[in-house]
């Protein structure tokens, strides 16, 4: 018993918290990278997550692809969609007030979600957990569902790889330089327009990846992203806009705190992200890891 | 076309947004020479250089580099005609380390300088290679700004006031480096307020006033022109 809560219950809630936190981290990481470079608050992000889940659902139920194939194919599809949107629409708004980008991406999200509702209705569709991950292990103090452990592990791995690329490779150095002064970087011969397209596509792919990983646990539905993305914006604000570490750490932290709130004071769980956001905004408006401008 | 200058600017007009700043700049930078642009504050020297590298809102006229027209060329292609740009504000990436700043630029030719030679010319940078760009002193930033374009391998070095705000010792050091580069045959276009610095380097001078080139003369006419030059730029 810990503060009157059985260890088993606490441990299982923590796993659920980390599981949710892993999604927050993947999504806020993509949002953060996109905002850092494009200066666009990407309201389409939740829709990218939804498209990722639907792509997996359709690829598996209609074309017979395995979950593992979907894990690669669905993010690629979302990346392609994002690249087209960036080239055709978003690009036209660079240099204008950030509000335009926000309105455009919000509009695109509504369009995507509306289209999916037209074809699939609002009801959720089930997606099978891959057989090899369907079991549960008894750890003595708790039962650990294999799929959740896998989801946490692979999400964190992707976050870690992204972080390594940004911090330690020459591509990452170009990204960071473009975040500081992209016009000068262009003068030096770096194809910044291409870099922007790739960044938007990559951010989209991260969201699509999260969508595939989410599909077996949550129902695949047109509004699954819209519900999640609001919390993810709170995560981004808590971590600090544009901070990579901030996105990952605060994503996991928020998932965990939410889970703890569910154990100790269930009615507060939904409020936790926003309460923390309010406190952070009040004490440190730039976010926990934000560097400020 | 051996006799065409490396860089050739004809009737360059330039705008920042709605404000028309350049009203007809004509100048030629022959291969292997160092050209200096002189002129009072605000006459458009920096704007001319920004026009060359594609940083103005709009330009008309003609800028030919190595036989290629730069006006209308996508900004990220311009460097590949052989231009290395050292901006007035130095443009060091504060969140990148010195080493990352040095490795940042794509190679635009196989003339790129080796790290060894770079650290030979700028020993301070070697000691500071792990430091963040944002922590460098003004002199170190200027050296890094020059060093990193040399790594890319330009044919023409475009320098905007490389000595501005630096101590005499650092000015001397940068002077020695530019002399060495000139001896190696590198072509340079230099904007400089420090007239005494420029006169030791330049082969030819251009004078600017109110967005125009108003006069130009070779270095060996400098003595005879000293009075006009002084009255124009106030040295
Ligand atoms: N970003 C800008 N937007 C609008 N006008 C500008 C901008 N930068 C410079 N100007 C204007 O253009 C004119 C020329 O400026 P420029 O920087 O080219 O002068 P300069 O000859 O380099 O002067 P200095 O010796 O002070 O560096 C000035 O009148 C200046 O006010
Ligand atoms: Mg200037």
Distance CA B143, CA B170 (A): 9
Domains of chain A, residue spans: 7-283
Q: What pLDDT sits at residue B45?
A: 96
Burial B152-184 (b: 16+ CB within 10 A, else e): bbbbbbbbbbbbbebeeebbebbbebbeebbee
For residue B83, list its beta bridge partners: B156
| Residue A31 Cα distances to A39, B90, B225, angstroms | 10, 31, 60
Q: What pLDDT sits at residue A141?
A: 80
Closest protein CA for atom 26 of ligand 1: B41
Taking the Cβ of residue B63 and every Cβ of chain A, the question of whether any pair is shorter than 8 Å is answered with: no
Percent of chain B with pLDDT over 70: 98
Q: Across all residues in chain B, what is the average pLDDT?
A: 94
Q: What pLDDT sits at residue B194?
A: 86
Burial B40-79 (b: 16+ CB within 10 A, else e): eeebbbbbbbbbbbbbbeebebebbbbeeebbeeebbebb
* Distance between Cα B190 and ligand 2 center (Å): 11
The atom of ligand 1 lying closest to the CA of B44 is 18
Q: For residue A27, what are its two tokens?
A: 């999504």
Taking the Cβ of residue B106 and every Cβ of chain A, the question of whether any pair is shorter than 8 Å is answered with: yes
Mutate to test the pocket of ligand 1, among B21, B39, B58 (most ligand atoms within 8 A of CB): B21
Q: What pLDDT sits at residue A220?
A: 93
Q: Assign residue A74 a region: left if phi > 0, alpha if psi is -120 to 50, beta otherwise?
A: alpha
B147-174 average pLDDT score: 96
Tens place of pLDDT for every residue, chain A, 293 residues? Answer: 677 777 788 888 889 999 999 999 999 999 999 998 998 999 999 999 999 999 999 999 999 999 999 999 999 999 999 999 999 999 999 888 889 999 999 999 999 999 999 999 888 888 888 888 888 888 878 888 999 999 999 999 999 999 999 999 999 999 999 999 999 999 999 999 999 999 999 999 999 999 999 999 998 999 999 989 989 999 998 998 778 888 899 999 999 999 888 888 888 888 888 999 999 999 988 888 877 54
Torsion over CA of A10, A16, A19 and A24, rounded to 10 degrees? -100
Which residue reads 């072509």 in tokens?
B187
Burial A234-272 (b: 16+ CB within 10 A, else e): bbbbbbbbbbbbbbbbbbbbbbbbbbbbbbeeeeebeeb
Whether A182 contacts A56, CB under 8 Å? no
**Whether A177 and B96 lie within 8 Å, measured CB to CB:** yes
CB of B231 within 6 A of ligand 1: the answer is: no
Distance CA B67, CA B184 (A): 22
Q: For residue B175, what are its two tokens?
A: 């002077």
Whether A255 contacts A20, CB under 8 Å? yes
Residues in chain A: 293
Q: What pLDDT sits at residue B159?
A: 97
This complex has an ipTM of 0.94
Whether B158 contacts B51, CB under 8 Å? no
Percent of chain B with pLDDT over 90: 88
Q: What pLDDT sits at residue A293?
A: 46
| Residue A80 Cα distances to A27, A34, A92, A154, A214, angstroms | 17, 15, 18, 22, 20
Distance CA A47, CA A74 (A): 13
pTM: 0.91
Q: Which of A238, A184, A192 is nearest to A37 (CA)?
A: A192
Residues with Cβ within 8 Å of A73's Cβ and at least 6 positions away in sequence, in order, are A55, A56, A59, A65
- pLDDT bin (cut points 50, 70, 90) of residue B128 is very high
- Topology at the third CATH level for domain A7-283: ABC transporter involved in vitamin B12 uptake, BtuC (1.10.3470)
Which of the pair, B69 or A133, is modelled with greater confidence?
B69
Residues of chain B with C-beta less than 8 angstroms from the C-beta of A176: 93, 95-96
Whether B101 contacts B144, CB under 8 Å? yes
Kindly tell me the burial class for residue B1, based on how many C-beta atoms sit within 10 Å of its own C-beta (0-12, 13-18, 19 or more).
exposed
* Distance between Cα B16 and ligand 1 center (Å): 9
Q: What pLDDT sits at residue A136?
A: 87
B53-60 average pLDDT score: 96
- pLDDT bin (cut points 50, 70, 90) of residue B195 is confident
Q: For residue A20, what are its two tokens?
A: 């949710």
Taking the Cβ of residue B70 and every Cβ of chain A, the question of whether any pair is shorter than 8 Å is answered with: no
| Residue A8 Cα distances to A13, A78, A142, A260, A262, angstroms | 9, 38, 5, 13, 14
User: Which of B77, B93, B103 faces A180 most closely, judged by CB atoms?
Assistant: B93
B7-17 average pLDDT score: 96
Q: Which of A62, A89, A56, A57 is nearest to A75 (CA)?
A: A56
Which 147-186 residues of chain B touch chain A by CB within 8 A? 149, 152
* Distance between Cα A238 and ligand 2 center (Å): 41
Residues of chain A with C-beta less than 8 angstroms from the C-beta of B106: 188-190
Distance CA A74, CA A54 (A): 8
**Is residue B160 over pLDDT 80?**
yes
CB of B39 within 6 A of ligand 1: the answer is: yes
Q: What pLDDT sits at residue A65?
A: 95
Hey, what domains does chain B have and what are their CATH numbers? 31-43+82-233 (3.40.50.300)
């Amino acid at each position: 018993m810990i503060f009157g809560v059985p260890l088993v219950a606490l441990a299982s809630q923590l796993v659920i918290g980390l599981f949710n936190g892993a999604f927050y981290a993947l999504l806020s990481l993509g949002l953060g990278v996109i905002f850092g470079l494009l200066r666009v608050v990407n309201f389409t992000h939740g829709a990218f997550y939804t498209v990722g889940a639907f792509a997996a659902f359709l690829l598996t139920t209609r074309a017979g692809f395995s979950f593992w194939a979907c894990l690669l194919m669905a993010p690629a599809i979302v990346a392609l969609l994002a690249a087209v949107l960036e080239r055709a629409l978003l690009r036209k708004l660079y240099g204008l007030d950030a509000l335009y980008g926000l309105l455009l991406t919000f509009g695109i999200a509504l369009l995507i979600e509306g289209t999916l509702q037209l074809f699939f209705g609002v009801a959720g569709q089930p997606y099978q957990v891959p057989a090899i991950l369907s079991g549960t292990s008894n750890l003595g103090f708790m039962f650990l569902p294999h799929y959740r452990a896998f989801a946490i592990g692979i999400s964190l791995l992707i976050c870690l790889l992204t972080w390594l690329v940004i911090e330690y490779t020459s591509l990452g150095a170009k990204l960071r330089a473009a975040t500081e002064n992209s016009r000068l970087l262009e003068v030096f011969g770096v194809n910044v327009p291409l870099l922007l397209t790739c960044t938007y596509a990559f951010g989209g792919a991260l969201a699509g990846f999260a969508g595939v990983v989410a599909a077996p646990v949550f129902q695949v539905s047109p509004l699954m992203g819209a519900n999640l993305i609001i919390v993810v914006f709170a995560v981004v604000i808590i971590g600090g806009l544009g901070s990579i570490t901030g996105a990952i750490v605060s994503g996991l932290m928020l998932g965990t705190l939410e889970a703890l709130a569910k154990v100790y004071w269930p009615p507060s769980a939904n409020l936790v992200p926003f309460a923390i956001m309010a406190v952070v905004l009040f004490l440190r408006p730039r976010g926990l890891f934000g560097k400020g401008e | 076309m051996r006799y065409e200058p490396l860089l050739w600017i004809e009737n360059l007009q330039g705008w920042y947004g709605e404000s028309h700043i350049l009203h007809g700049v004509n100048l030629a930078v022959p291969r292997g020479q160092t050209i200096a642009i002189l002129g009072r504050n605000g006459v458009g020297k920096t704007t001319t250089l920004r026009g060359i590298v594609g940083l103005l809102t709009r330009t008309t006229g003609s800028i030919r580099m190595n036989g290629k027209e730069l006006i209308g060329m996508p900004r990220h292609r311009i460097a590949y005609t052989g231009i290395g740009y050292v901006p007035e504000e130095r443009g060091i990436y504060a969140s990148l380390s010195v080493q990352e700043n040095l490795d940042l630029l794509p190679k635009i030719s196989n003339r790129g300088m080796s790290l060894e030679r770079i650290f030979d010319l700028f020993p301070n940078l070697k000691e500071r290679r792990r430091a963040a760009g944002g922590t460098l002193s003004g002199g170190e930033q200027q050296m890094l700004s020059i060093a990193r374009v040399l790594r890319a391998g330009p044919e023409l070095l475009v320098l905007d006031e490389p000595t501005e705000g630096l101590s005499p010792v650092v000015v001397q050091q940068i002077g020695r480096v530019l002399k060495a580069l000139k001896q190696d045959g590198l072509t340079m276009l230099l904007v400089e307020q420090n007239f005494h610095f420029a006169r030791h380097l330049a082969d030819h001078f251009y004078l600017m006033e109110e967005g125009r080139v108003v006069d130009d003369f070779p270095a060996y006419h400098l003595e005879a022109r000293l009075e006009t030059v002084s009255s124009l730029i106030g040295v």
